[in-house]
Structure 1
Amino acid sequence: MNVVILCDGNPPRPEQLKEALEHSSLFIAADGGALIASQMGVKPDVIIGDLDSYSVTGNEHGDVIHDPDQETNDLEKALAYAYKQECENVIVFGATGKRLDHTLKNLSVLKQFDGQFKSLQFKDKYSVLFLLPKHFEMELPLHTTVSLFPLSGKVEEIHTSGLKYALTDGTLENGVQDGSSNLTVEKKIEIFHKKGDLLIFINHKTDK
């Protein structure tokens, strides 16, 4: 089952959200994400969180789950709910932007839940990001901007092909070397790594 989660960070483009919803079976708003959903004219099946941003009206389309636990944030609550519903493929909008500490926390949550789903992706107006398996390959349009980021602080033994700036047995480390703003020079890219947690950012082709 496919699920879309909407958080209250920077919102996606309306058409971007609606397209994702057309291919999903469940739409979850994480607390303040319900306000963004309302502004875009879409109705969540579930609203979940500590509800410090969203006030219940009684006219909700779906279920409202108040979870006051302060040891987990609203995205964690939404992902835990999706896991209990046996969802397999998760797209999260609004997990980035606005407060930087919230963005960093949500990246930690991405790592925490990554192994519990077949796929778990964050999307925004500019890019899609997700954690890479040890061997990854994908076809992309030529000259697509691709960035690699060592989420665990250091990622070792990285090999890439199909990118302008190739790595062979390379290492990416926060504060030492990063892999931002690379470009695809072949339609198929391949990325291998052996140690660490490696994020990929694939930029959308958009001028908006």
Structure 2
Amino acid sequence: METSVAIILKRCESIPTAENYIGVDKGALTLARNGKRMLLAIGDFDSVEESDLAYIKEYSDTLLQLNPIKDDTDSEAAVMYAIEKGYQKIHLYGGLGGRLDHAMINLRLVSRFPETVYLHDQNNFIYSLAEGVHSIDKRDYTYISFFTEDKATISLEGFKYPLDKQQLTNKDTYTTSNEILEDRGIVTVHAGKVTVIQSKDA
């Protein structure tokens, strides 16, 4: 089976090219209006009209309408569905901007599922790394920053500001706005896990 899926959230400004799609709430409507077939349309759909919901059904293999009174956000429910179906790379689009509480949940999903959940917008690419040695492509991003929700120990090679077995805590901010010198850099996570933000100015 395909191992990658794109999850389109409410505020997605453009639709990426992907083999598989999951639409979340208004993200499902965006996919339907652009003629994109979905594996799943999921959400409470309290922000779409009844006629829109019928239209979404036409373009989805499965439609799961959630109770608006629930513990999980729509994006979390979509991610958990994708994980249960065996998808190894889950790309979230439209999960930044808008409501800050929803953006925080999406950032926590990235941290919770290292090397599995990736968060994208026009200027940022966000993911997390577990213990191990990782080769990071610069792509077209100018800056790269590292954070941890708890504690981590990392080394950076091929960066403007290298590190050697540096211990980080969730209070540290000096790992912001680093730069990859060439095409790629090497990040070694000796302990813990780190959230990586590759970014560029708008």
Q: 1:125 and 2:127 equivalent?
A: no
1:182 aligned onto 2:182: no
Question: Corresponding residue for 2:76?
Answer: 76
Give 5+ residue unaligned stretches, structure 1.
Answer: none
The structure-2 alpha-carbon separation of the partners of 1:125 and 1:166, relative to structure 1 and needing over 3 Å to count, comes to same
Q: How does 1:40-189 map to 2 (within 5 A)?
A: 41-45=34-38, 46-57=40-51, 58-60=54-56, 61-62=59-60, 63-68=62-67, 70-112=70-112, 114=113, 119-134=116-131, 135-140=133-138, 144-150=142-148, 152=149, 154-189=150-185
The aligned residue for residue 24 of structure 2 is: 30
Report the 3-state secondary structure (helix = DSSP H, G, I; strand = E; otherwise coil) of the residue aligned with 1:181.
coil
Give, in whole Å, the separation in 2 of the partners of 1:168 and 1:54. 51
Q: Which of 15, 18, 24 lines up with 2:16 in the alignment?
A: 18
Q: Is the 8 A contact 2:90 2:117 kept in 1?
A: yes
TM-score by length of 1: 0.79
Structure 1 residue 124, shift from structure 2 partner: 0.6
| Stretch moving more, 80-89 or 121-130 | 80-89
TM-score by structure 2 length? 0.81
In 2 relative to 1, CA 155–186 (structure 1 residues): closer, same or farther, beyond 3 Å? Answer: farther
The number of equivalent residue pairs is 192
Query: Percent of pairs identical after alignment?
Result: 22
2:102 aligns to what SS in structure 1?
A: helix
Q: Which 10-residue stretch deviates more, 135-144 or 54-63? A: 135-144
SS state at 2:110 partner: helix
Unaligned 5+ segments in structure 2 are none
RMSD of aligned Cα (Å): 2.5
| 1:193 alignment partner in structure 2 | 189
Counterpart CA distance in 2 for 1:165 and 1:185 is 9
| 1:3 is the counterpart of 2:5 | yes
Q: CA deviation at 1:172?
A: 2.9
The one-character-per-residue Cα deviations of 1:130-156 (angstroms, maximum 9, x if unpaired) are: 111222113335983111122x1x433
**Paired amino acid for 2:134:** F
Q: Give the Cα–Cα distance (whole angstroms) in 2 for the partners of residues 160 and 184 of structure 1.
A: 10
What is the distance in 2 between the residues matched to 1:142 and 1:78? 29
Tell me how far 1:120 sits from its aligned partner: 2.2
Q: Which moved more, 1:30-39 or 1:59-68?
A: 30-39
**Deviation >4 Å, runs of 4+:** none
Q: Is the Cα–Cα contact under 8 Å of residues 151 and 170 in structure 2 kept in the other structure?
A: no
The structure-2 alpha-carbon separation of the partners of 1:54 and 1:197, relative to structure 1 and needing over 3 Å to count, comes to farther
Question: Does the CA contact (< 8 Å) of 2:153 and 2:168 recur in 1?
Answer: no
- The 2-side partners of 1:88 and 1:172 are apart by 27
Contact 1:140 1:189 in 2 (8 A): yes
Q: Using a 3 Å threshold, how does the CA distance of structure 1 residues 163 and 18 change in structure 2: closer, same or farther?
A: same
Contact 2:25 2:45 survives alignment (8 Å): yes
Question: What secondary structure, in the 3-state scheme, does the structure 2 residue paired with 1:78 have?
Answer: helix
